[in-house]
């Protein structure tokens, strides 16, 4: 019988309802932490090593020592998967969360007095029905008035738990019943609040330079798939002027692979939903992951 997945908290595998974290944890008080989300298709963790590698790049940036090496973090994740063997459906998709904070604050509130780090690993089920619908209908996007935090302030490549910038963008876009597309301070397209953004123009896939966006693991996979499929792809700055000229758009993240975008501020995909290049990439992701969102079942 499928039940609530167990979690790993500071090395102990326990029921989620039994988890206890101090109210003075710096993750709660200050958003002082790093996180990572890895997709798990049935019992198959997808690109776990890539995600753990990014987790540790972010941890190094904010100077948090999780008390585990990357190899030990992978072992801990595999142990949690094994413990959840009877609680995870082989036909479902899950998000594996790795949340690491600087740990409990002291009354002094001095950064270097905090710790040890709080490390939590968990599995959460994904409702794939909405994802499947978006694959056939696309998602609507609108440019948010909230600009992406510039890397000169907080490095955009780091996956930090302080998400207020993206949350405000989501709230802004929700008033127009759409997902937010965020610009950088110079008016260039950056990314969405939760995913990397791509357009296709003259048969070439365009994506924002890595300096302006999160280092997406799925974005990295997309580069690999484009090379296999001989689809040209370029990293470059571009604006809404270029969106207006584009033939198709799509977004990528670990939870959705590649999802078509139907419109951006009224500019529609000129080649249908999904467009021909987006469709090829969706099919390539289904092959690479072994999971086809369109049918809500593992790809045959």
| Token code pair at residue 273 | 């939903």
Residue 54 has pLDDT above 50, yes or no: yes
Prediction pTM value:
0.93
Q: Which residues, at least 6 apart from 291, have a Cβ–Cβ distance to it below 8 Å?
A: 41, 42, 93, 298, 299
pLDDT in tens, 91-137: 899 999 999 999 999 999 999 999 999 999 999 999 888 888 999 99
Q: How far apart are CA 70 and CA 86, in angstroms?
A: 26
Q: How far apart are CA 208 and CA 189, in angstroms?
A: 7
Enumerate the domain spans of the chain: 7-126, 131-298
Query: 84: buried, middle or exposed (CB in 10 Å: 19+, 13-18, 0-12)?
Result: buried
What is the fold, at CATH topology level, of the domain defined by 131-298?
A: D-amino Acid Aminotransferase; Chain A, domain 2 (3.20.10)
Q: What is the assigned CATH class of domain 7-126?
A: alpha beta
Percent of the chain beyond pLDDT 90?
88
pLDDT tier for residue 231 given thresholds of 50, 70 and 90: very high
Q: How far apart are CA 291 and CA 300, in angstroms?
A: 8
pLDDT in tens, 148-179: 999 999 999 999 999 999 999 999 999 999 99
Give the Å distances, CA to CA, from 175 to 77, 140, 172.
Answer: 38, 13, 6
């Amino acid at each position: 019988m499928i039940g609530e997945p167990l979690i790993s908290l500071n090395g102990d595998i326990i029921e989620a309802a039994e988890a206890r974290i101090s109210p003075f944890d710096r993750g709660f008080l200050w958003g002082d932490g790093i996180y990572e989300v890895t997709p798990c298709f049935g019992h198959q963790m997808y690109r776990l090593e890539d995600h753990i590698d990014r987790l540790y790049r972010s941890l190094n940036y904010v100077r948090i020592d999780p008390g585990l090496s990357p190899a030990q973090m992978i072992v801990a994740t595999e142990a949690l998967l094994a413990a959840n063997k009877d609680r995870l459906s082989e036909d479902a998709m899950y998000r594996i969360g790795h949340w690491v904070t600087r740990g409990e604050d002291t009354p002094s509130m001095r950064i270097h007095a905090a710790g040890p780090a709080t490390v939590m690993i968990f599995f959460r089920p994904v409702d794939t029905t909405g994802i499947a619908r978006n694959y056939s209908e696309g998602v609507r996007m609108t440019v948010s008035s909230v600009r992406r935090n510039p890397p000169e302030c907080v490095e955009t490549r780091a996956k930090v738990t302080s998400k207020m910038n993206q949350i405000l963008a989501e709230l802004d876009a929700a008033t127009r019943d759409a997902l937010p597309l965020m610009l950088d301070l110079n008016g260039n397209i950056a990314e969405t609040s939760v995913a990397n953004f791509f357009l296709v123009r003259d048969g070439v896939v365009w994506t924002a330079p890595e300096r302006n966006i999160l280092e997406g693991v799925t974005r990295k996979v997309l580069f690999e798939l484009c090379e296999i499929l001989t689809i040209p792809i370029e990293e470059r700055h571009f604006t809404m002027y270029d969106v207006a000229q584009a033939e198709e758009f799509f977004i990528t993240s670990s939870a959705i692979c590649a999802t078509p975008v139907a419109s951006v501020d009224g500019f529609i995909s000129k080649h249908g939903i999904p467009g021909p290049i987006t469709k090829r990439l969706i099919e390539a992701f289904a092959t690479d992951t072994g999971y086809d969102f369109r049918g809500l079942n593992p790809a045959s």
